[in-house]
Structure 1
Amino acid sequence: MENFTKTNRRDFLKLASTVTGGLFIGFYWSGCDSPKMKVLTNEEVLSKVLDFNAYLSISPDGDVVIYSPNPELGQNIKTSFPMIVAEELDADWKKVRVLQAPLDNEKYDRQLTGGSGAMPHSWERLRKAGATAKYLLVAAAAQKLNVDPGELTTQNGEIFHNGKKKFHYGEVVSEAAQMTAPEDVKLKDVKDFTLIGTPVKNVENKAMFTGQPIYGLDIYREGMVNAMIQRPPFGMKIKSVDDSAARSVAGVTDVVVFKNNVAVIGDSTWPLIKAKRQLRIEYEPDGAVESSFDHDRIFKELMASKSAQVMRKDGDVETAFKNAAQIVTAEYQCPFLSHSPMEPQNFFAHVKGDQVELIGPTQTPDRARMETAQLLGIPKENITVDITRLGGGFGRRLRADFVVEAAELSKILDKPVKVTWSREDDMTGGAYRPAVRYQFSAALDNQGNMIGYKLRGVGINAGNTTRENNFPSGAIDNLLIENLEHKSPITTNAWRAPITNFLAYAEQSFLDEVALAAKKDPVKMRLDLLERAKKNPVGEIHYDIDRMIGVIETAADKSNWGKNKDVMQGFSVYFSHRSYVAQVADIVMDIGQPVLKKITAATDCGIVVHPTGADHQVRGGIVDGMGHAMFTNMTFENGLPKQRNFDTYRLIRMKEVPEVEVHYVDSGYDPTGLGEPALPPTGGAIANAIYAATGRRLRSQPFIEQKEFSDIRLQIRRT
């Protein structure tokens, strides 16, 4: 068990720069054969490191420490961010160490992980951080040599004059630190990149292989107590609590009722799990919620409602449908889903008067601090937040409910507390992907051209269920997009690729239905619509037409779209989180049964900083999109989910993943998001391929629970 020792930010940065391993400063390992850390005095620290900006420090021996400010939950940002700094710095990557920076709003802007926005937000900032440090180092070297800085070049952490090495960075670091940084610096030309775009190993590979990264579940402090919490069903409140049996469990030291929760306190989690099962809690309705869980009735009522919010309207939709030669209609529906990260929610808190220390896995450390400050009524400046590595998140850790639980219990108990959720807690604790139903209509003229388009989205705690400015908006003369929402006690939250994770499947499947009715090739129909939007745009265009065309054409080309007579294919394309992804799913028939053999993906995410990480993100998004489209569901009874663990909440298995082929389109743009964009198109590509192979149209997820799918027995086979 690891111990997270206290350091303030200044000491953290300084200590970090002195440790050769550099990855886990502030930790020690308790095993007898574990590495030990030498504790340096302030004088020793100050003699070894100089900070050039918030993002990096360089020591006199030339070692470079780069700080990754955003939380790492598996998207490789802890590798790709430092790569950008090191590229502009011309650092020797072998001498670079990477550290997770703690929360510091003064030094870092947008210090969170979510919405696939970290890379596009930080791209220029990170480049300037590295370029500024290099400018100062070169200026210091020029001063020492009494030459013009323009006569010097840099490479691999060294400075050259007339082709001859003069200094490594550490030899001029003291002088450079005394200089004034310029307000603006010149950045490299993309063609001169030597590190960005190369398959650099993840900086934590060795540590991960040997089990060293610290997750929230690893946190331990002397004097700390553990807590697990029984939360109420949705729409219910506590009427009475009998905790006598729970208190009798060995290892349980206390039971605390706070707000609408019951917490069991003890030395370790196993007694707490047993004690929770011994709690006898009686609940009663917290208002008129009896009908809030009849989702089918709610959807039907809202679909028929005349009070929808108009999100976008172009042209004369009513006349277009009145004069249509053919009208195509369909409804698509998706269920609630749990985020189900590998590491359930947990957090450590120690409230000491008006000071609070928080440690754990969070995608939004500032939100954790702000909500804790609001709860306890203390200044946010009195709260520190240290970020551990996250064992997955997918949007669930954007919230801070599990953080304030720990803070509140620490305040009540006057002790450091670590709150841990079990897997059942995680699945029943809310913040799900919203359940949504979509109703589509398309009006076609005599030539099969789409002259009208309508979309009505109805969501349960979903907010805006549409992306009203996404394709095909702007490509159809007469268009109406509406939204309705039902408020439910069931709590919802952003779930990987919010809204688009299902909307893309519904839209892309419906467009295939339209192509079939119009007797058009699905890919050509989409390209024709995009060309129409390019030549005669209708209203505002909020997506890049050429980038979308680029991924469509690449995916069609790389998958041999329509050219293999024995392969049935399904197509899908979507724009989300600033990036464009097109996918083609291949199905072959084997003794009368469909076999999903391959998914080909074409991605335009701008400059690919870290190819290995990018490849993992695309493949991971496809696997995630496929698994949840095909298998996963969450249903409710009396305010409680029926699915409580992975025995009933079906996730995709390794053997069910087909071959995935990944291609990138170089559009010349700066990097855009990649943590989420590959997920939305996957369900549509597979569903459209299933239709092409079997004639069965799947309009609801998960596929395995649809009667249209029950006798297909789709197989997955890797080539």
Structure 2
Amino acid sequence: MADLIKTNRRDFLKIAGTAAGGLFIGFYWSGCDSPKMQVLSDDEVLAQAHNFNAFLSISPSGDVVIYSPNPELGQNIKTSFPMVVAEELDADWEKVRVFQANLDNDKFDRQLTGGSGAMPHSWERLRKAGATARHLLLVAAASQLEVDMDELATEKGEVIHKKSGKKIAYGDLVADASQLEAPEDVSLKHHKDFKIIGTPVKNVDNKAMFTGKPLFGLDFYREGMVNAMIQRPPFGMKIKSVDDSEAKKVPGVTDVVTFNNNVAIVGNTTWPLLKAKKLLKVTYEPDGTVESTEDHDRLFVELMDKGKAQVMRKDGNVDQAFSKAAKVVSAEYQCPFLSHSPMEPQNFFAHVKGDKVELVGPTQTPDRARMETAQLLDIPTENVSVEITRLGGGFGRRLRADFVVEAAELSKILNKPVKVTWSREDDMTGGAYRPAVRYKFQAALDEEGNMIGYKLRGVGINAGNTTRENNFPSGSVDNLLIESVNHSSPITTNAWRAPITNFLAYAEQSFIDEVALAVDKDPVKFRLELLDRAKNNPVGEIHYDVDRMKTVVETAAEKSNWGKDANVMQGFSVYFSHRSYVAQVANIEMENNQPVLKKITAVTDCGIVVNPTGANQQVRGGIVDGMGHAMFTNMTFKDGLPTQKNFDTYRLIRMKEVPEVDVHFIDNGIDPTGLGEPALPPTGGAIANAIYKATGKRLRSQPFIEQKEFSEFNLEIKRV
């Protein structure tokens, strides 16, 4: 038999019994024990599909039904989760049916999408679900054939007697298997024996998306519901007066409601609501501080020098190191607020029925949506149901529940089912942006060019901790001080894809290049020297895996032919975030005295790659996202309102601007780590370092195209 890994069943709910011929295996992500398996017929499983979240079912026909519990927003979890279950089950993937599970805290733990944590969290739990079912099927087959289990194997939904070649389909075993008690221990495959995991599998929603089937929140419709669009105030302002007389005259508008500092236009369809919203006359007055970008620029300067900082990490004697330094390198980097700008603007359906609420829509945190709704309406959380649709992007914006609570509150006021839809302008101006941050770096160098001291101070606008104090180069420098300063602002912020590291990585990696060049060292070799010091003489705690980081650095240098072509100007960047490691090299060539970005090489260590197709897309998408926002996007404020309100002024990267991207993965057999976010952080640094190599211009602020150092060149993005 295949090389097996032993594990315990403690994360499972196992219930056994008999019914009309189907096998139902319920299992908890969080952990519990129960002695038996519950059996439901295939019809019962399908009829109750929306009510069961954590289960694997097999019908007498051999069809396998797997529910995916985490919200799907493009990170491929709805495909990769079932692949893991099907792998251990030895299912025939062609017979696997995948359904999106709804919120169920009794059966799921961490039923959310964020932090690139879904697969690392659920990896073993998913495997146990499939392996437990496979074991019971083998026991049933051994009984039917009157042979030892060791004589049996499984493949593509069948149990095979190796000596005789006789095969029994899973569907023919479910009635007997369902009566068996699950084992205390279950064996998992060794990764070398995987047949589904590691193979390219198409997204399970592809056909529905291509044919326009309803999947997304915007697609949801309920007979009898009303639609609503909402006018929200500028940040730091409150309503003074509302004149809705002209808005009410628009055909199709049924009501105008002022609530909670908002004004809602209500009607049967969204088109008249868009028109009526423009006719609203709302005046505002200050309700605290009203801020503009000029205020933030001033605050950055003041707080960098005088702000009271929180010490996040301190190693050694930093003051002494800098007083003895042969050379000190200093630089400051700054990034703006950014909108998440998912393709699907925020929307949600709510129906408040007495002390019960039905919620339907795209959310990254269904439990948060439930809890905040229950808190608003002062009802038990168990009285709130949440149905999760597919998300048309999120990037952290849908971690919040403000748009959900709006729908619930409005449904309560109107005593009707309500679907609230945000326009693109609402989405841009409605808040929860990436925080604006400024960093000051200082490095102390000795006579031999070794970095003996390192300082980082981050100042953020509603950023919380502006640093990731335990990331590289922490642990590789004897004397290190990392501090954070936060300014509280009425402008709301939220996690934005790869929170904090989305800009910090660019700033850190650009500064490390500055230090390397100041001592005339190759940037890749300089990083490897620091990693060797962290490996051989670590300072304080090391929170990253030095060997994994070194491997991606060395592999990226190899795959990109680092430094081997004099006509190619290369920039390097490497970063650890969300448990994974990504190194990137950007290639720029000069054409007609202008720098042309030709290629980005990326090497990723995210452990075992479940689905190469999805993983490849995640890396490419992260690079495009990181590149586009580093180069083009900016959000500024005037009197509490964003200056940019739509894509005509909020510049996103275009398809024709995406260069060649060469993607590689490290195959090390480690359990999967995060992948939805880690490819984004290194991109800005790789490009900026390549631009410096090609032009001698150091870009210390984003977006690049708005920097005076950049204005002398027209960086051409060549699509290959």
**Would the TM-score normalized by the shorter structure come out above 0.5?**
yes
Aligned to 1:287: 288
Which stretch shows the higher mean deviation, 173-182 or 487-496?
Answer: 173-182
Aligned to 1:646: 647
Distance 1:136 1:53, change over 3 A: farther
Aligned to 1:4: none
- Mapped contact 2:289–2:490 kept (Cα < 8 A): no
Aligned to 1:335: 336
- Offset at 1:150? 2.5
Which stretch shows the higher mean deviation, 178-187 or 557-566?
Answer: 178-187
Distance in 1, matches of 2:357 and 2:82, equals: 30
- Offset at 1:322? 0.5
Could you list the structure 1 runs, at least 4 aligned residues long, displaced by more than 3 angstroms after superposition.
46-53, 288-293
- Mapped contact 2:214–2:220 kept (Cα < 8 A): no
- Mapped contact 1:49–1:60 kept (Cα < 8 A): no
- Mapped contact 1:336–1:434 kept (Cα < 8 A): yes
Distance in 2, matches of 1:58 and 1:442, equals: 61
What secondary structure is seen at the aligned counterpart in 2 of 1:606?
A: coil
Aligned to 1:517: 518
- Mapped contact 2:619–2:675 kept (Cα < 8 A): yes
- Offset at 1:123? 0.5
Distance in 2, matches of 1:278 and 1:130, equals: 57
- Offset at 1:209? 1.3
Aligned to 1:158: 158
- Offset at 1:291? 7.5
Residue 79 in 1 paired to residue 79 in 2? yes
- Mapped contact 1:214–1:388 kept (Cα < 8 A): yes
Distance in 1, matches of 2:328 and 2:55, equals: 57
Distance in 2, matches of 1:586 and 1:493, equals: 33
Aligned to 2:327: 326
Aligned to 1:568: 569
> Which ranges in structure 2 are unaligned for 5 or more consecutive residues?
1-18, 24-39
Distance in 2, matches of 1:600 and 1:667, equals: 19
Residue 411 in 1 paired to residue 412 in 2? yes
Query: Pairwise mapping of residues 299-314 of structure 1 onto structure 2 (< 5 A)?
Result: 299-305=300-306, 307-314=308-315
- Mapped contact 1:50–1:173 kept (Cα < 8 A): no
Distance 1:43 1:186, change over 3 A: closer
Aligned to 1:609: 610
- Mapped contact 1:293–1:638 kept (Cα < 8 A): no
Aligned to 2:222: 221
- Offset at 1:290? 5.5
Q: Supply the AA of the counterpart residue of 2:634.
A: N
Distance in 1, matches of 2:267 and 2:719, equals: 48
- Offset at 1:213? 4.1
Deviations 1:17-50 (A, max 9, x none): 99xxxxxxxxxxxxxxxxxxxxxxx988249899
Distance 1:189 1:475, change over 3 A: same
- Offset at 1:146? 2.8
Aligned to 1:45: 43
- Mapped contact 1:292–1:489 kept (Cα < 8 A): no
Query: Pairwise mapping of residues 456-475 of structure 1 onto structure 2 (< 5 A)?
Result: 456-475=457-476
Query: Pairwise mapping of residues 422-501 of structure 1 onto structure 2 (< 5 A)?
Result: 422-501=423-502
- Mapped contact 1:475–1:533 kept (Cα < 8 A): yes
Distance in 2, matches of 1:519 and 1:470, equals: 24
Distance 1:300 1:651, change over 3 A: same
- Mapped contact 1:631–1:704 kept (Cα < 8 A): yes
What secondary structure is seen at the aligned counterpart in 2 of 1:394?
A: coil
Distance 1:47 1:374, change over 3 A: closer
Distance in 2, matches of 1:249 and 1:49, equals: 43
Distance in 2, matches of 1:685 and 1:248, equals: 55
- Offset at 1:702? 0.2
Residue 123 in 1 paired to residue 161 in 2? no
Query: Pairwise mapping of residues 112-151 of structure 1 onto structure 2 (< 5 A)?
Result: 112-151=112-151
Which stretch shows the higher mean deviation, 129-138 or 48-57?
Answer: 48-57
What secondary structure is seen at the aligned counterpart in 1 of 2:186?
A: coil
Distance 1:47 1:421, change over 3 A: closer
Distance in 1, matches of 2:614 and 2:264, equals: 40
Which stretch shows the higher mean deviation, 177-186 or 469-478?
Answer: 177-186
Distance in 2, matches of 1:245 and 1:556, equals: 64
Q: Supply the AA of the counterpart residue of 1:630.
A: M
What secondary structure is seen at the aligned counterpart in 2 of 1:359?
A: strand
Distance in 2, matches of 1:637 and 1:417, equals: 33
Distance in 2, matches of 1:92 and 1:173, equals: 15
- Offset at 1:481? 0.2
What secondary structure is seen at the aligned counterpart in 1 of 2:189?
A: coil
Distance in 2, matches of 1:250 and 1:660, equals: 51
Distance in 1, matches of 2:664 and 2:377, equals: 50
Aligned to 1:264: 265
Distance in 1, matches of 2:556 and 2:694, equals: 19
Distance in 2, matches of 1:308 and 1:113, equals: 32
- Offset at 1:183? 3.4
- Mapped contact 1:50–1:57 kept (Cα < 8 A): no
Distance in 1, matches of 2:216 and 2:289, equals: 41
Deviations 1:271-295 (A, max 9, x none): 1111111111111100244579600
Distance in 2, matches of 1:336 and 1:441, equals: 24
Distance 1:426 1:184, change over 3 A: same
Deviations 1:468-491 (A, max 9, x none): 000000000000000000000000
- Offset at 1:201? 1.5
CA RMSD of aligned residues (A): 1.7
Deviations 1:240-268 (A, max 9, x none): 11111111111100000001100000011
Aligned to 2:109: 109
Distance in 1, matches of 2:497 and 2:109, equals: 22
What secondary structure is seen at the aligned counterpart in 2 of 1:600?
A: strand
- Offset at 1:221? 1.0
Distance in 2, matches of 1:185 and 1:619, equals: 37
Which stretch shows the higher mean deviation, 377-386 or 299-308?
Answer: 299-308
Deviations 1:190-214 (A, max 9, x none): 1110111001121122222111142
- Offset at 1:167? 1.2
- Mapped contact 2:42–2:60 kept (Cα < 8 A): no
Which stretch shows the higher mean deviation, 50-59 or 417-426?
Answer: 50-59
Distance in 2, matches of 1:687 and 1:167, equals: 60
Distance in 1, matches of 2:273 and 2:46, equals: 46
Distance 1:645 1:48, change over 3 A: closer
Deviations 1:675-707 (A, max 9, x none): 000000000000000000000000000000000
Aligned to 1:5: none
What secondary structure is seen at the aligned counterpart in 1 of 2:183?
A: coil
Query: Pairwise mapping of residues 536-615 of structure 1 onto structure 2 (< 5 A)?
Result: 536-615=537-616
Distance in 2, matches of 1:492 and 1:672, equals: 26
Distance in 1, matches of 2:220 and 2:241, equals: 33
Q: Supply the AA of the counterpart residue of 1:562.
A: G
- Mapped contact 2:318–2:480 kept (Cα < 8 A): yes
What secondary structure is seen at the aligned counterpart in 2 of 1:501?
A: helix
> Which ranges in structure 1 are unaligned for 5 or more consecutive residues?
1-13, 19-41
What count of residue pairs does the alignment treat as equivalent? Answer: 681
Distance in 1, matches of 2:705 and 2:580, equals: 30
- Mapped contact 1:547–1:667 kept (Cα < 8 A): no
- Mapped contact 1:49–1:59 kept (Cα < 8 A): no
> TM-score, normalised on structure 2?
0.93
Q: Supply the AA of the counterpart residue of 2:63.
A: D
Distance in 1, matches of 2:292 and 2:624, equals: 35
Distance in 2, matches of 1:446 and 1:288, equals: 50
